[in-house]
Chain A
Amino acid sequence: MIHPKSMTRMTRARPHDTLLSSGAHWGHDIVPYEIEANVPEASAEFVDDVGITVGNRQDIYFGSAAPRTAMTNRDYTVVSSTAATTSQDLTPVFQRDIGNESISIGLGAFGQEWQLLSGRLALQIKEQFQLPFGITIAGGQNIYLAGPVLWAVIDPFSQNVHSSVLMLGDQPVLSAGIGLLQSAPERIGGKLDSIIQEIATTPRIGLSIACRLRELRLQQTQDSESSPVAIESAECFLEFLGSARGVNLPSLTLTPDGNIYASWRKRDRVFSAEFRSGGFATYVLFRPTPGGTGSKLRSAGSAPACDLLSIPETSPAVWAFS
């Protein structure tokens, strides 16, 4: 659905605190602007999920996506730092009800690979709400913050996410979701990406894990001391996820050799697993002694990934499940 230009509303901009101050190598700070969206009154209490993009001309664009619980259509407000000063209009393009089971970040409009990182940043809007953002870094070192994408990744209960594309002329500035663009971007190729796509289909936790793995993959490219994510390890981890339905979301890191390291922690309990080649995983289990003396029982071993949480030795790790 393409909205006519007349639906675009420009708001008066008012600068707030700097959003990004470190980790960005393009040398600019983003100054968020207050925006307003035309929200149907019934859903006015829901917070907008705001996407922010930095275009390759360093313009700043804000777009609001419909809140997840709002069932009514809503207007879409787009403002850019340049447009606000030069009275240019931007044309928003909507795609609604994109299934978030398979959110992918493919090649962006600039022909560069996109990667999705989990965001830790929050935007204060009207000093009332804090919204998390997904962060993507394109090959040209432009940084794009995508609210709807992160929303989809962290919200396992929402089957649909409203995503949006900002168009400048006929070129999309930001893309998210499968089939979102009229000229769909090529997907990131490679076996690892296929495995991550499959991991993303794991109920409840798959999207968060896929997001994290993509983040690790990108981080590894910037770390000369580490090895890339090992495909065999990813396969092993996928096998584990297939057999451990209902397991909670673990902390995920990479070993120096590129193996996936998953860790579940709860108070004085630890269950950690390194997923290795050949379908095997090694594990470590810490738990308090049954007598409650304050000391710990510690054990370690290895098992096929598909049996990791079903062998007697790891049965005390039942708390790793919800």
Chain B
Amino acid sequence: MASAVPDSDHVARYCSPLHIDHGDLQASAFLLRRNKNEKDLSVNWLEKIHPSDRAEQIRLLQQTFAEKMVRISAGAEFAVLNVGGLRKNVAEGCPECPLLEVLHLPKQDDPSRSGIFGIERDDQLVAELLLEAVLNHYPARSPRL
């Protein structure tokens, strides 16, 4: 059974350049793929990667994505959110929406992989509320040496 990511911890969402305009991340980055009947929004649990060092978390996450993805587009970013913060923002902004859950769903090539569950209706409103909860963003590509 999947375990819940603590509210005190953080998750990162991979955002393609398709969701970024003029350097600004848009809520489309937090929409589910409806045509694939996606049930959860894929994120990565940062404290699972490293307990506290954000720079190290991002560096290792960049490495994970570089290994598991065919290509990481230039301009792709990781958006970082606090689990408790995103749950609270969605609950307050959409009282009729189910309370979101963030569950750890590790994969062999992605041990920190997790998912945000509960986005069933009003997904566009939830997406905008998740965007509001973004704390920071980082390049998804490792810098070239």
Contacts and interface: CB of A to CB of B under 8 A. Distances in A.
B26 A219 contact: no
Contacts of B141: 22
Contact of A216 (B18, B70, B122, B124): B18
B124 A253 contact: no
A165 B38 CA distance: 48
A212 B75 contact: no
Q: How large is the interface on A (under 10, 10 to 19, 20 to 34, 35 or more residues)?
A: 20 to 34
A275 to B, nearest CB: 11
Contact of A253 (B26, B128, B144): B26
Contacts of B17: 219, 223
B91 interface: no
Nearest to B76: A223
A255 B19 CA distance: 7
Interface in B43-78: 70-71, 73-75
A286 B100 CA distance: 20
Given A225-B16, A261-B27, A261-B28, A251 B125 contact: no
A203 B129 CA distance: 32
Which one of B20, B24, B124 has the highest number of Cβ atoms from chain A below 10 Å of its Cβ? B124
B16 A223 contact: yes
Interface string B101-137: 0000000000000000000001011001100000000
Q: How large is the interface on B (under 10, 10 to 19, 20 to 34, 35 or more residues)?
A: 20 to 34
A219 B74 CA distance: 10
A286 B21 contact: no
A97 interface: no
A252 interface: yes
Interface string B17-42: 11111101011110111110010000
Which one of A252, A253, A284, A286 has the highest number of Cβ atoms from chain B below 10 Å of its Cβ? A253
A160 to B, nearest CB: 26
A251 B18 contact: no
B94 interface: yes
B93 interface: yes
B28 A255 contact: yes
A226 interface: yes
A17 interface: no
A220 interface: yes
A293 interface: no
Contacts of A90: none
A212 B27 CA distance: 17
A270 B21 contact: no
A284 B128 contact: yes
B21 A298 contact: no
A294 to B, nearest CB: 13
A286 B128 contact: yes
Given A223-B16, A270-B128, A257 B33 contact: yes
A282 interface: yes
Contact of B26 (A263, A296, A298): A263
B39 to A, nearest CB: 13
Contacts of B93: 296, 298
Given A212-B21, A284-B27, 12 more contacts: A219-B18, A222-B71, A223-B17, A256-B31, A256-B38, A257-B31, A263-B26, A272-B26, A272-B124, A272-B128, A296-B93, A298-B94
15 contacts: A22-B144, A216-B18, A219-B16, A224-B71, A225-B16, A226-B18, A227-B33, A227-B35, A251-B24, A253-B20, A254-B28, A257-B31, A272-B26, A274-B124, A282-B124
